Amino acid sequence: MRAILRRYLPALVLVILVVAVQITLSATRQEFYMTQLTMAAYYTMVALGLCLLMGYAGQVSLGHAGFFAIGGYSSALIAGLGAAAAVSIPAAVLVTAAAALLVGIPVLRLRGHYLAMATLAFGIIVLRVLQGTPFFGGADGLSNVGAYPLFAGLAISGRRALRVQNYYIAWSLVTIGLLLAINLVSSRVGRALRAINGNEDAASAMGVNVARYKLATFVLSAIYAGVGGACLVHFSAGIGPGEAAVMKSVRYVALVAAGGMGSLSGTLAVSAALTFLSLRGVFGLYDDAVFGGILLVIMLFAPHGLPGMLAGVRARRSARRSAS
């Protein structure tokens, strides 16, 4: 029983923090922060999915911003088609999943550098197509995207009056995403993924269908990204091709690396914090440089991310203590 509680602890902490932050902000009349916090939540969905892909299946993707953009643009366009409004996000998720399958099947057989370049190329292709096609709004992107109706009168919308509601919608989505990910990681599939990461040939010999699991994880991580994009487009009432930019993809990788590669809670914490700060403009003109720098420092000195670094410090300290 206690083991189960420990497993879901990050989700519990998340819920408590989310509520606490909201109460604090409302009480201090600083609710305007919620807009960036809501956006940060949707970007964090991408990081969560990427954590599953990079940290557990051990595959790199330098083009995940492309899936975020595909999700967003799809939802906007489908909603604009005049179909039942509620269809747009699920349909967008399907489109994103299909794109991930199409890209993943040929590309996931590649190793290391080749996979990285292939996913990078995919991201740039998405970017160029979005920039260069009038149907997608070209360099200006899409705007005037309507709200997305949920149940019980709730809606994903950027209207000021619905600010608090949308904050909770966004972070509830992240919480659900986190719970599903935690479950997956503790399951037979999660074990198989970690085995693939540990020793691919041995995993295969033990009955794990490596190719299928890599592909499924890739598609799942793309779905996370697509959901984030599809929701954000309704919250921001628009989207631009910049969401597919290379720097965005690199940022997501930086967030996962800094969060500890295989650590869902670490990735979530780092992503929420840094994305929020970036959206607030705290890093100013040095925004990209900050993420590049973080990535560099983490990869040079703490390739297992901050949690790994902390674990290393703790281990060294206790070793020193037992030696003295």
Partner 1 sequence: MIDPHLEVRGLHHWFGGLHVIDDVSFQCRAGIVKAIIGPNGAGKTTLFNLIAGALAPASGRILFDGRRIEGIPPHRVAARGISRTFQATRLFTGMSVLENVMVGRHPRMRGGFLAGMLGPAVTAGSERRARGYCMEILEDLGLAALAPKEAHSLPFGRQRVVEIARSLAADPRLLLLDEPACGLNPTETEEMAVLITRIRDRGVTVLIVEHDMSLVMGISDEVLALGAGRRIADGTPREVQSDPDVIAMYLGDDRA
Partner 2 sequence: MEGGLILQYLLAGIATGSVYAAVALGFTIIYNATGIINFAQGEFLMLGGMIAISLARLMPLAPAILIAVVATGLVGVLLQLVFLSWLKNPAVLRLIIITIALSILLREAALHIWDEKVRALPFFSGDETSSLALFGARVSPQVLWVLGISAVMVAGLTVFFRSTMLGKAMRACASNPTAARLCGIRASTIVSLSFFLAAAIGALAGCAVSPLTQTQYDMGSSLAVKGFTCAVLGGLGSVPAAVAAGLVVGILETASVSILPLAYKDVVALGILLVILSVRPQGLFTLRRTGWARRA
Which residues contact partner 2 by CB under 8 A? 54, 58, 60, 62, 103, 106-107, 109-118, 120-122, 124-125, 128-129, 131-133, 200-201, 204, 210, 246-247, 250, 253-254, 257, 285-286, 288-289, 291-293, 295-296, 299-300, 303
**Strand, coil or helix: what is 282?**
coil
Q: How far apart are the first and last CA of the chain?
A: 38
What CA–CA distances, in Å, run from 310 to 6, 270, 302? 19, 14, 9
- Minimum CB distance to partner 2, residue 213 (Å): 13
Residue 202 interacting entry, from partner 1, partner 2, none, C-beta within 5 to 8 Å by type: partner 1
- Minimum CB distance to partner 1, residue 17 (Å): 22
What is the distance between the alpha carbons of residues 59 and 54, in angstroms, rounded to a whole number?
A: 5
Residue whose CB is less far from partner 2, 21 or 124:
124
User: CA 46, 51, 56, 60 torsion: positive or negative?
Assistant: positive
- Residues forming beta bridges with residue 155, ordered by sequence position: 149
Residue 124 interacting entry, from partner 1, partner 2, none, C-beta within 5 to 8 Å by type: partner 2
Strand runs (DSSP E) across 170-245, as ranges? Answer: 238-239
Contacts made by residues 95-99, CB under 8 angstroms, sequence distance 24+: 95/70, 95/71, 95/226, 96/67, 96/70, 96/71, 96/222, 96/223, 96/225, 96/226, 96/229, 96/230, 97/219, 97/222, 97/223, 97/226, 99/67, 99/70, 99/222
- Minimum CB distance to partner 2, residue 297 (Å): 9
Residue whose CB is less far from partner 2, 170 or 222:
222
- Minimum CB distance to partner 1, residue 88 (Å): 23
Residue 79 interacting entry, from partner 2, partner 1, none, C-beta within 5 to 8 Å by type: none
What is the distance between the alpha carbons of residues 250 and 42, in angstroms, rounded to a whole number?
A: 17
Residue whose CB is less far from partner 2, 129 or 273:
129
Q: Which residues bind partner 1 (CB under 8 A)?
A: 4, 179-184, 186-192, 194-195, 197-199, 201-210, 216, 220, 262
Residue whose CB is less far from partner 2, 211 or 310:
211
Residue whose CB is less far from partner 1, 24 or 209:
209
- Minimum CB distance to partner 1, residue 307 (Å): 13
User: CA 268, 274, 277, 279 torsion: positive or negative?
Assistant: negative
Residue 112 interacting entry, from partner 2, partner 1, none, C-beta within 5 to 8 Å by type: partner 2
